[in-house]
Every structure is written in C-alpha cells, then in structure tokens.
Structure 1
Amino acid sequence: MSRRGLYSLTDLDDAAMGCIVRRTIDLYTDRNAHDRPLAGLLAGLLFTRTSTRTRTAFTTGAIRLGAQPVTFGPADLQTNTGESAADTGRMLAGMLDLLVVRTAGPVHELEDLSGDGELPVVNAMSAEEHPTQGLADLATLTHHFGPLDGARVLYVGEGNNTAVALAHALSRQRGCRTVFACPRGYGLPAPVLAAASAAAERGGGSVIQVHDLAAVEGTVDAVYTSRWQTTGTSKADASWRDAFRPFHVDTALMDRWPGAVLLHDLPAHRGEEVSGDVLDGKSSLAWTQARMKAAGAMAVLEWAAA
C-alpha cells in the first residue's frame, strides 16, 4: 500500500518539509495568498478525540482553500458498530478527496482508512505522533528566528506525541541542538530518540535526553513545554504528578536564559507544566504558535491534495 498523505514527519524529505514550512509562513503572513486550489474538493474531517485548535485549523483551512469539509464525530461512523476501518476506508476513498484524522489509536488505523492508499490521509494527531503540530512549531521558530542553523531548543515535560514530532522536525535542521528534559519513565520512545539523534548528527546537530533540568548546560534559545496529561491518555501510576513537578516551567527556569522564548502546543494547565506569568509573558510565542496552526493546516492540505 502506498502511503499518500502525511502520517509522520519521517514521510517527508527535507525539501518537502522546508516547502511546507515556508508555505505555512507565507499563509500566516497573508491567509489569502492562494487561488483556492482545493475548489471542488471534499475534505473529510474525522476527529475521535477532543480538539480546539487542530480541528478549527483544518476546518477553516479547507474552506478558505475552496474545499467543502465533511465532518465526522467519534460516534458517526459504522466502525462503532463493527465495520472494519479498512472497509470504511474503501468507501470513503470513493466519496472524498482527502481525509484528516485525529485518533488516540495507532497510525495503522489511519492507514486502514486510506482505502489501500487511494485516499490521502493527514494525521492530525495519533498515539505515536502529532506531525502537523511539529510543522507548525518549526514554522513558528523559523518565523521568529529565521534559519534554525545552530539553534538550541529545550523541551521540558513528557515525551509525548508532540515531543516525537518536535524531535523529528528539529533533528533535520542543520546544526540544531535539542535537549529533551523528561521525567524518568516518561521520555521519548527509544527508537524515536535513536532515529532523531542519528538524523541530527548527520546535519552537525544533536538530540539528547536528560532526566534532570540541572543537567541542561549552555545557552537555550527556546523552551518548549506541553501539557503533562496528553489528550486521550491516562497514566498508570497514581502518583505520576510527583515525577513531573520538577519539570514545571516558571520564571526561575526562564531566568536561566533571559533571551529565550517559550513555546507551548496548548491547551495549557497554568500552574502545572507552566506558570501563568510565563505563558502570558513577553517571551511567550504560544499564541503565535496557535495561530500558526491555521496557516499550517492550509499548507498541509495544499500539499496533500497536490
């Protein structure tokens, strides 16, 4: 089966990733910088988990680009009554032109919905990765800093699907050095860390993981954090918050790098992963980042439909 669409950032070569990021920034600057290239197309939007930013971004993005969105909620499809995702995908492929999916399940569920690869599918978050978030993050950083050659990024928190996408994205930026500071037992999956580290080394950069913020050395240009409880998941350890408290991003942490900016994929729980004064402070790019998702959705839809 040919994988048409975007399942993981590892599906993109450097040229494609760069093209989508540049296009995202163009559309962020001017959301009308297009000639409605999706006019006449039908874009399915299947969200089986809660979403504010991503669902709104893809719905409005499809409309702005000329497509008609066809929306499905978590209980709308016959998969809930026993039909296989593969059979559902074969039918959707005959009726839609592309499909955007958010699920708490694995990526292979998205592959099943592609109708044997006939229907381009965009991963709007799965259990393993949130690739469209990673592209919006990369565009936000590039828009703020320019080329990310030599940039130093610190991610603080759980090695969740957002962190996986960030690792894949930043490992491809020449000379970029990324540190993932995660509670022990809640870090990046070992295969992801190994692959991102190898990719970064090829470009003269690095991706490493530590379990203590005191181990972070040198300069940091951007601090990224994410909600401790990832959408659609739960943790087996009832005392898991004790492991996460040392990874709270507050003014004391940000003061270690006075020139650093803050990123957060939102939604945020002020007082948990980040303090309110940091999230709403002058160093925060979180709200630019959120708006960038709308432009990013448009850029991904253009790319997937091409």
Structure 2
Amino acid sequence: MAVRHLVSLDDLTDEDLRAIVARGAEFSSGRSAPAGALDGLVAGIYFRRTSTRTRTAFSSGALRLGAGIVTFAGGDLQTNTGETSEDTGRVFSRMLDVLVARTADDPAELRSWADQSRMSVVNAMTADEHPTQGLTDLTTLLCHFGRIEGLRVLYVGEGNNTAAALALGLSRFRDAELELRTPPGYGLRADIAARAAASATAHGSTVVERHDMADLPLDADVIYTSRWQTTGTSKPDADWRERFTPFQVTGALWEDSPKAVFLHDLPAHRGEEVTAEVLDGDRSIALDQAENKMHSAMAVLEWCRGGVRR
C-alpha cells in the first residue's frame, strides 16, 4: 500500500489537490459513505497545542474509515525526558500507519518523521502553514458554490498559517481571485507570498495583498477572517491591537459584496476579528466549514494510504 505524506499543500500535485477536495465534498454531501479504507490500520493523533476541530476531525474521520486511534498530548512522550525527536519518529513509524501531528513549530520536524516509507505523516498545523485547513476551505467552497474556479475571496486579518494555506491552495484554481487585507507588519511571510504568487502565475489566478482597508474589491463571493491570536503565537508589538482594529469584519463589508458568504476557521472571538452580527448571521457558513474539516480529514487519510484516485 502506498504511503504518502502531507506536510505542505505544495506536496500535492494539482491532480491530488483536486481529488482530495472533490472527495471531501462527496463525503460532505453524503454521496459517498466511508468504506473502510483504513480497516486494520492504526492512526496516531499527536497534538502539542490545543485543538478542537482538527483533533476531533481526524480522530472521528479515522474511526469512520475503520482505523483504530492512539492519542498523545504534548506531555506524554519521552521527548520530555531527553529522547530525540528523530528517535521518537522512528519508533512511531514502527507502530503506526498514519501520524497526524500538530507541533505548531518549524515543519522540519515533521519532514524528518516523514523520511521513511512505513507511516504517513500529516501536518495538522505548523507555524508557517495549516494545510488541512486549506483543504477544508477549498472543500467548503466546492460544496457551497459547486466550483472553485473563478471565485473571488476577500481575506481580512492576520497573514497567519490559515491565510498561507488559503493562498497556496486557492491560487491553484484558474481565474480564482484572492485579495488579502492584512495589518502592517502582520502579512503573509515573504516566502509564502512568493510561493503563492508563483502558483497564481502558473495557474491563471490572482493573489494580491494590501495592508489597508481602502478601496475594497466589489462583489466578493466570500469574506474570510481568522482570529487575531493564533494558537501558540504572540505578537511582538505592544500596540498590535491598534494595528488590527481597522481589520475587524463587520456587516459594513457586505455593502460592496451583498451576496458574499462568511468563512472563519474558528475558534472565533466575537467583538475582536468579527462581530457577532456577522458570525451568527445568515451569511455565515462557518459551522458548515467546521464540519467539513471532518469530511476533508477523511479524504486526506484515504489519500495518505493510496486512495482517492480518479
């Protein structure tokens, strides 16, 4: 059985990316039921950082696909008593078939664990990128609109790992337009922006980033935000809230995009990055998006073990 790893969306071919997204949409719509793709396998669920949706999605998804699961928290492993990360990864690969891990640190550790062909490794969020969130977002767009090509997305907020995955994923669909409005000093990392720009050029899409809220695009299909305080991070500037305040998502953004739906990767802080009026309003599909994390997780797990071929 093939063993595949997902550390970054850039690990996926265009064909694989589209197949995973389409498979997640099939699960979401009920057109396909889990068929025991992971029967007899064991999935490790390792989270050093807090998680509600991603941990539950992959745990529930693995069980629905027939796998058994073993869970680990940050303080459970012998790395806390001096064992090297490399040795931990080697041991994992002898006992697990899939490892879903949130380290929230540099992805190099996950890359080292993926340097073998016995156990699939899935990045459940590192500091630079949240690839499974990106796949969830694309799945949600496909479910809601029936397409991803040609959609216009306005992202407002920090250029964090969610924004990075959105840029790297959406840029691979022709005629898609992503405009990011991020606070000064809190935009996409330069390497992520460069990768997204190259992807957009190659796929006939557009990724633009600005650091103000003037002259917003008209008739966006989607308005997206993420919480200001990302898991496991802190802001270097004492005045960061003043910089972020103009980037709050309020109902006023719908004056120029009256048909837009609202996305949020959750958890949300009402009154900070988004008002309750928007998050709980009839344009919000954030809870559908959260549920799709499970459907997308099942598609990822199938792909990791050689499935999702079209």
Q: Distance in 2 between matches of 1:201 and 1:87?
A: 41
Q: Distance in 2 between matches of 1:142 and 1:115?
A: 33
Q: 1:115 to 1:88 in 2, by over 3 A?
A: farther
**Are the aligned partners of 2:48 and 2:103 in contact in 1 as well (CA < 8 Å)?**
yes
Cross-structure match for 1:144: 144
The structural deviation recorded for 1:303 is 0.7
Which piece of structure 1 moves more, 172-181 or 208-217? 208-217
Q: Once the two structures are superposed, what CA deviation does each residue of 1:46-74 show, in whole Å capped at 9, x if it has no partner?
A: 00000000000011111110000000001
**Are the aligned partners of 2:178 and 2:207 in contact in 1 as well (CA < 8 Å)?**
yes
Q: Does 1:238 align with 2:220?
A: no
Mapping of 1:20-31 within 5 angstroms?
20-30=20-30
**Are the aligned partners of 1:9 and 1:165 in contact in 2 as well (CA < 8 Å)?**
yes
**Are the aligned partners of 1:4 and 1:118 in contact in 2 as well (CA < 8 Å)?**
no
Which piece of structure 1 moves more, 32-41 or 241-250? 32-41
Q: Distance in 1 between matches of 2:81 and 2:112?
A: 17
Read off the aligned partner of 1:160 and give its amino acid letter.
N
SS in 1 for 2:214: helix
The structural deviation recorded for 1:112 is 2.5
Q: TM-score, normalised by structure 2?
A: 0.95
The structural deviation recorded for 1:115 is 5.5
**Unaligned stretches of 5+ residues in structure 1:** none
Q: Distance in 1 between matches of 2:209 and 2:220?
A: 15
Q: Does 1:292 align with 2:310?
A: no
**Are the aligned partners of 1:98 and 1:119 in contact in 2 as well (CA < 8 Å)?**
yes
Cross-structure match for 1:160: 160
Q: Does 1:101 align with 2:101?
A: yes
Q: TM-score, normalised by structure 1?
A: 0.96
Q: Distance in 2 between matches of 1:148 and 1:57?
A: 23
**Unaligned stretches of 5+ residues in structure 2:** none
Q: Distance in 2 between matches of 1:290 and 1:26?
A: 16
SS in 2 for 1:262: strand
Q: Distance in 1 between matches of 2:228 and 2:58?
A: 25
SS in 2 for 1:94: helix
Mapping of 1:241-280 within 5 angstroms?
241-280=241-280
Cross-structure match for 1:41: 41
Cross-structure match for 2:213: 213
Q: Once the two structures are superposed, what CA deviation does each residue of 1:209-231 show, in whole Å capped at 9, x if it has no partner?
A: 00112132333110110000101
The structural deviation recorded for 1:150 is 1.6
How many pairs align?
304
**Are the aligned partners of 1:25 and 1:143 in contact in 2 as well (CA < 8 Å)?**
yes
Cross-structure match for 2:173: 173
Q: Distance in 2 between matches of 1:28 and 1:217?
A: 30
Q: Distance in 2 between matches of 1:288 and 1:194?
A: 31
SS in 1 for 2:262: strand
**Are the aligned partners of 1:86 and 1:115 in contact in 2 as well (CA < 8 Å)?**
no
**Are the aligned partners of 2:170 and 2:176 in contact in 1 as well (CA < 8 Å)?**
yes
Q: 1:31 to 1:97 in 2, by over 3 A?
A: farther
Cross-structure match for 2:113: 113
The structural deviation recorded for 1:32 is 6.3
The structural deviation recorded for 1:203 is 2.3
**Are the aligned partners of 2:219 and 2:259 in contact in 1 as well (CA < 8 Å)?**
no
The structural deviation recorded for 1:31 is 8.3
Read off the aligned partner of 1:23 and give its amino acid letter.
R
SS in 2 for 1:215: coil
**Are the aligned partners of 1:92 and 1:115 in contact in 2 as well (CA < 8 Å)?**
no
Cross-structure match for 2:87: 87
Q: Distance in 2 between matches of 1:138 and 1:24?
A: 9
Q: Does 1:54 align with 2:48?
A: no
Cross-structure match for 1:17: 17
Q: Distance in 2 between matches of 1:217 and 1:5?
A: 37
The structural deviation recorded for 1:116 is 3.7
The structural deviation recorded for 1:25 is 0.7
Cross-structure match for 1:74: 74
Read off the aligned partner of 2:266 and give its amino acid letter.
L
SS in 2 for 1:213: coil
Read off the aligned partner of 1:106 and give its amino acid letter.
D
Q: Once the two structures are superposed, what CA deviation does each residue of 1:188-207 show, in whole Å capped at 9, x if it has no partner?
A: 01121122122112222210
Q: Distance in 2 between matches of 1:247 and 1:52?
A: 25
